[in-house]
Structure 1
Amino acid sequence: MFTKHRSALAGLILLLLPAVGLPQTWNHEIGKLSLPKTPQRVVALNWAATEALLLLGVTPVGVADKAGYGTWVQEPTLPKTVTNVGTRVAPSLEAIAQLKPDLIVTSSEMAPAAEMLQKIAPTYVVSVYKQGSRPYDKAREMLITLGQMLNRESRAESVLADIEQTLEQQRKRLRQAGVTDKPVALVNFLDDRHVRVYTPNGLYQTTLEHLGLANAWQQPGNYWGFSAVGLEAVAETPRSRIVVIEPLIPGLAKNLEHSPFWTYLPPVQNREIYRIPAVWPFGGVYPVKRLATALADALIEGGSNHVR
């Protein structure tokens, strides 16, 4: 009788084990990560990871390059209370350890330090920007995986649904305005003769595709999704609209007024120059939404023949 009851009890325990929660395991770029419980204190060592955590409603206890995030990424807003743990290329292990994290999120650039990071806390290594990858797909994957780890899967799904809805809304606006007929060149000025032009393998391409816009620059770039070229190279896309992304270097507008490299570009002569606020091109999923709205607003408002 005792043996019979003991067997029944053992069977009941086995049935209940999944309900009380076994450690979950995820594969990542340098191995596997197991979490016995939902992390509460998370450190992010790149801005794409910082963005993802904030989108999930999780405020990291520490981030790398905190000041730079506020300048370049801006949204979602990073609370002032978050601790800076050094730079993205050389974070302080001591500062990270002092925060007593139960999860660290980093990318393959920090892979050599991963072993030391793992001694501090479980470390998830994921790279949005890597040779051969599509940034938006990787950023989406990172958001979903972090949502699983942090018990915020529904929040991740809501974020992605909101982005898809925004893309569709802006696509309809552009189509109704009749401004999807020409390719778009997205550029940042490096100086008054050189630009960083965004290529089809970058994050911005996702926005262009969903808005029904063609990328005027079809040549491949580096795995970050851009190429640095002279203005004369932009002249090879005469039927394009040029969208200039902030920030602008001091004195740029004045210098361009007297630049033959600029003034003779067909988009300049056709008054098809547009300017939009800074949108971080090396982030996660959120810049895709921000760029869609800014780009639609600018194209519908109309262009000019100078960077005003």
Structure 2
Amino acid sequence: MRRTTALFAAALFAATALTACGTSEPTSSSDASDAAAQPVSLTDGRNKKLDLKAPAAKVVALEWGAAENLVSLGVMPVGVADTKGYTNWVTAAKLDPSVKDVGTRGEASVDAIVALNPDLVITTTDEAANTIAQIEKAAPVLVIRGADAANAIPQMKTNLEMIGTAVGKAEQAKQINADFDKAVADGKQKIADAGKAGEGFTMADGYKQGSTISIRMYTTGSLLGAVTTELGLKNGWTGAGDKDYGLAQTDLEGLTKLKDGNFLYIANKNDGGDVFGGDLAGNAIWKNLPFVKSGNVHRLPDGIWMFGGPKSTEQFIDATVQAVTS
């Protein structure tokens, strides 16, 4: 989904120079603080207008993507939902130890949030409406759309810019998005230079519950699927995903319809382990899949958040380019 400074000495120098030349009015050392105190008005993901007396400084984030964006913009949140999980999954923008845990994602503690006396609480359209209503009794709430499978990359950028506006870091948000665009272009060029443009890929993660292994496929509507397509690769999973996150559910048998190509997957040793490299490693069906037999299975590094902002997604770009071109 951010900053202006003015040095007192520089302001005095500018004032003296302008007066000597007979030109316009001098600047003041209070200009920056005055700008920082200006009211903020924006329309959030609910199409609801949000008015703040000044850019928010004490912010609670109830979704990891929002927390990542805050840290990327130089605003350390005072509270985050499930800080332990965030630490495991989001390495692109690390939290300070001082950040308070305010409960779980999807079931945050309203009391813990209110105790922090925040200027702003950021959540997503996935949050329960009654929870948002409770929080709004104590603090302004900015609701961003969690994801949009019809516009995955633009939605990611919009969320960062919306948060940037709310915390007075609009220019920084634009720069981060521009840096992301450059990372995509650079990654695409590296893949093309390696002669890999147009190669097939599939992207997945997997979880084990009891003896059942569930596999999530990242369609072209998912953020990571959309980014990998932008890098010049072709998604081998043609089935539709959900309307928000672009994810499709399957099982091991569902992978048998895939052709050879780069099978990219994300796992986490601290949360769920590696079902592809562990549980399925000795499975006859898995071992006979085309991409397994050809050695095109790539586990990406732990700590890349699949539903994050530009910084996490840049980590994914670097890892994907490395996997495909090595």
- Give TM-score, length-normalised by structure 2: 0.80
User: In the alignment, which of 94, 99, 104 is matched to residue 111 of structure 2?
Assistant: 94
- CA deviations 1:195-251 (Å, max 9, x no partner) are 221111111123112211111112111232222212222221213221232226368
Higher helix residue share: 1
Aligned residues: 282
Among residues 290, 293, 296, which one is paired with 2:318 in the alignment?
293
Residue 42 of structure 2 is aligned to residue 26 of structure 1: yes
Taking the aligned partners of 1:235 and 1:148, their CA distance within structure 2 comes to: 46
**Higher mean displacement: 81-90 or 283-292:** 283-292
Cα deviation code 1:242-289 (max 9, x no counterpart) = 123222636854654432211211112222222211322222333321
Summarize the alignment of residues 8-47 of structure 1 with structure 2, pairs less than 5 Å apart. Answer: 23-28=39-44, 29=46, 31-47=48-64
For 1:68-147, what aligned pairs fall within 5 Å after superposition?
68-108=85-125, 109-129=127-147, 133-147=150-164
Contact 1:243 / 1:273 at 8 angstroms: preserved in 2? yes
Q: Which moved more, 1:194-203 or 1:44-53?
A: 194-203
The one-letter amino acid paired with 2:122 is V
2:309 maps to 1:284: yes
Q: Which aligned pairs between 1:48-67 and structure 2 lie closer than 5 A?
A: 48-67=65-84
Of 168, 172, 180, 1:155 maps to: 172
Alpha carbons 2:40, 2:55 under 8 Å: kept: no
* RMSD of equivalent CA atoms: 2.2
Cα gap change, 1:168 to 1:95, in 2 (>3 Å):
same
Q: Which residue, 291, 295, 316 being the options, matches 1:267?
A: 291
Q: Which residue of 2 aligns with 1:13?
A: none
Deviation sequence 1:38-81 (CA, Å, 0-9, x none): 21111111111101111111001111111110011222111111
Q: How does 1:241-256 map to 2 (within 5 A)?
A: 241-247=262-268, 249=273, 253=277, 255-256=279-280
CA contact (8 A) 1:242 1:272 kept: yes
Aligned to 2:23: none
State the match for 1:15 in structure 2. Answer: none
Q: Matched residue of 2:162: which SS?
A: helix
Q: Which fold has the larger relative contact order, with Cα–Cα distance below 8 Å and residues 6 or more apart in sequence?
A: 2
Task: Say whether residues 1:229 and 2:250 are aligned partners.
Answer: yes
User: Gaps spanning 5+ residues in structure 2: where?
Assistant: 1-33
* 1:288 partner letter: T
Q: Does 1:184 align with 2:201?
A: yes
Unmatched runs of 5 consecutive residues or more in structure 1: 1-18, 302-308
Q: In the aligned structure 2, how far is the partner of 1:48 from the partner of 1:72?
A: 11
Q: Single out whichever of 245-254 and 37-46 deviates more from structure 2.
A: 245-254
Normalised TM-score (structure 1): 0.84
